[in-house]
Structure 1
Amino acid sequence: MSSPANPSEQPSGSRAMPGFDDIDWSRAWLSPLAHRGQRWQKAALESYPAYLSTLNADARTEPRMTGRDKPLSFIAQDQLPAGASYEGHIAATGCVPTRHNLHDFFNGAMWFQYPRIKAALNARQAAEIDALGIGPIRGAARDALTLFDENAVLLACADPALAAALRAFDWRAVFIGHRTAWGRACEARIFGHALLEKLIAPYKACTGHAWIVEVEPAYFLAADTERRAILDREVSERLKTEAISSRCFTPLPVLGVPGWWPENEAHSFYDDPRVFRAGRRLRA
């Protein structure tokens, strides 16, 4: 799959929307999902009913629980009762309304990749709805929970200097000065399903919201499944107890991650101020 002609710009509205057959499982951010995702992709290309059936077969063989300990399952979007909130319905019934599109495809995948995080988010979202109801304004906490769900990048880091540089928007330190730390003392794993959808057609300005997770150096000696389990457990526990707002995140232009995009092998890639910005904190 080719990238946009000008990767520093988002694809224009006239461009055809990517579909299931546009998924490139060799991308670094998608390869952790490939084993399950390729089966789901095949079913999605067959039909909507086949797709839902495949998701539910996985939910039966690998049970997951939603925010209020209801067994996870997937239903067609039109089965969501009129007036019901999406998050509240999932918490109360375990049923995730799922459309036949990439956005919900990746949302479903995260219920299997990081089940504890998804359940913790769902529980917090449902609690916010119970307390405040459904209105035109969701409130700061629900906005932050939605931001996590849609756009978060889990950044496991055993290098405090790199984490500090990221928080300070010091992009040359993050991606050049600490370049050898990536994969050895730092790694990025995309959680946000909207971000994964955007990255089907990558563009340079595509930016996630990094949630930094401090880990021990031994984390990077563990197998992939064990690393994922560590992040799932630690992040979910934080989401259960910590106050959350947009200030808990720091921007991360994802194509800047070393090894994720061929063009970032040239250090000049990071000189683009439209993407690698100073940030409000540094300007202040």
Structure 2
Amino acid sequence: MRYVAPTREALDRGVLASQPLSEWSSFASFLREEEWPGVEGLNALWPEGSRHRFVEQDKALLDDGLHYEERIARHGAIATRPGNWHDLFNAFVWLRYGPLKRALNARQMAEIAIMGPRERSRPQYALTHFDEAGLIVTLQDSAMLDAWNAHDWHRLFWIHRDAWRRGEARVEVFGHALLEHALTPGKLLVGKALVAMGRDDAAASCAEAIAAGAVLNDPLELRPLPVSGVPGWHPDTSSESFYATAPCFQPLREGRAYPAPYTNPWSRT
């Protein structure tokens, strides 16, 4: 079933104080105000010298005949629908994770050059899944990765809950569709994750790995993570039974295996 976000008038602003939206507090004014922000206000947040701009998506823009990704690559123009949560969160992600977004765009353009604008390759599906629902997860304890590999959610989130609380395991929500879904209080969120072990520069190294084609060549590289299980991210994470009963905690599908955490030989050491 297609997700329908609450209207701006009906939004429970209390969700802005809960994870993952609380991590985006620097953009809170764009969410709390009664009126929808325009592209002018968003464009004022770009760092000086940026070639990218948000442009309102209207008929005149679409009449240029360009694919969404082509317009970004050629002109730095990011089509943004007015009054639209999905595109507003996309703008936030561009502003915070510019190198990641640029890496995805470059890879999409390389695939479009091969496939054309109407067909999609396995890498394109992987890139799109990460763009929409992506998580960057950093772990320090290999035992937590073992639990994740087995879909042992009780062990990953409950037994190791102190590691999450201490920041030894961290999640950065990158996917703008996932942020949009978080507008519904208590909604169970599942993202598509890339995982790094023990890195302080996970987002930067992830961008470099994507740009180099080292990751996101197939959607099966992405690990599902019921991110609502992270302690404190959902009201029920204080209850051990939550990890046995909530429908987001699915067992491992027979024959499913995950790749090792991404490594990036081009990154800083």
TM bucket (normalised to shorter chain) is 0.7 to 0.9
The alignment yields a C-alpha RMSD, in angstroms, of: 2.3
Which of the numbers 162, 184, 190 marks the counterpart of 2:167?
A: 184
Distance 1:283 1:117 in 2: 27
What is the correspondence of 1:1-284 to structure 2 with a 5 Å cutoff? Answer: 17-20=5-8, 22=11, 23=13, 24-35=15-26, 37-41=27-31, 45-47=34-36, 50-59=37-46, 62-63=47-48, 71-78=51-58, 79-100=61-82, 101-135=84-118, 137-182=119-164, 183-216=166-199, 219=200, 230-241=201-212, 242-244=214-216, 245-272=218-245, 274-281=247-254
**1:280 aligned counterpart, secondary structure:** coil
Task: Go from structure 1 to structure 2 and tell me whether the alpha carbon gap of 1:270 and 1:187 turns closer, same or farther (over 3 Å shift).
Answer: same
Gaps in structure 2 of 5+ consecutive residues: 258-269
Gaps in structure 1 of 5+ consecutive residues: 1-9, 66-70, 220-229
Shift of residue 205, structure 1, vs aligned partner: 3.9
Letter in 2 for 1:143: Y
Number of residue equivalences: 248
Distance 2:160 2:254 in 1: 21
Q: Is the 8 A contact 2:21 2:182 kept in 1?
A: no
- Length-normalised TM-score, structure 1: 0.80
Distance 2:24 2:49 in 1: 17
Task: Go from structure 1 to structure 2 and tell me whether the alpha carbon gap of 1:34 and 1:243 turns closer, same or farther (over 3 Å shift).
Answer: closer
Shift of residue 40, structure 1, vs aligned partner: 2.4
Shift of residue 215, structure 1, vs aligned partner: 2.0
Q: Is the 8 A contact 1:120 1:236 kept in 2?
A: yes
**2:171 aligned counterpart, secondary structure:** strand
| Structure with the largest fraction of helix | 1
- Length-normalised TM-score, structure 2: 0.84
Letter in 2 for 1:165: A
Distance 1:240 1:273 in 2: 36
Q: Which has the larger displacement, 143-152 or 179-188?
A: 179-188
Q: Is the 8 A contact 1:157 1:215 kept in 2?
A: yes
Q: What CA deviation, in whole Å up to 9, does each residue of 1:52-85 have, x standing for no partner? A: 11011112xx1475xxxxx110101112334311
Q: Is the 8 A contact 2:132 2:175 kept in 1?
A: yes
